[in-house]
Amino acid sequence: MATTTLGGGCFWCLEAVYDELNGVTDVVSGYAGGQVTDPTYKQVCSGTTGHAEVVQITFDPAVISFKDILQVFFTIHDPTTLNRQGADVGTQYRSAIFYHSPEQKAIAEQVIAEMTAAGIWDDPLVTEITPLDTFYAAEAYHQDYFANNPFQGYCRVVIAPKVAKFRQKFMDKLKA
């Protein structure tokens, strides 16, 4: 098994998608990249801790590659907006890859270079690539948020369309 940690806006959105990806065995919403030990959601939302909302993904590289994990990542969020995703604004919503190994760093740099060369976006990618220092799991009520709250307003308006886009584009990579 392998692990990676990604930030691309609200962790509920990322978790909802990666939970459905074949080869992914666990997704935990949490916080990374800041300077406060064991931060709370309220602290992270204040934008003063330096943390990003992230998901830590455990996956089987024999089933899905890290490059494929990143292909999904760059499809389900906008990596060209600095410190925001849609209406969510602040450094806690930044686009970030917190790599767990030199190999992950190299693959992330390669994927970003390929996407930049392909001219997929009009604006430059602002995704940070940084080593994971410490991951803090978010409070229990954040785990499996979309699955547990599918009719909540944010889930219906923001998360459900991202999940639908993911399912359409990556139908061949969904769990059975």
Given a contact cutoff of 8 angstroms between Cβ atoms, the answer to whether 31 and 54 are in contact is yes
The catalytic site residues sit at 10
Alpha-carbon gap, residue 47 to 43, rounded angstroms: 7
What are φ and ψ of residue 165, in 5° steps?
-60, -45
Given a contact cutoff of 8 angstroms between Cβ atoms, the answer to whether 6 and 108 are in contact is no
Given a contact cutoff of 8 angstroms between Cβ atoms, the answer to whether 33 and 50 are in contact is yes
Tell me the two tokens of residue 36: 């406060």
**Amino acid, single-letter form, for residue 101:** S
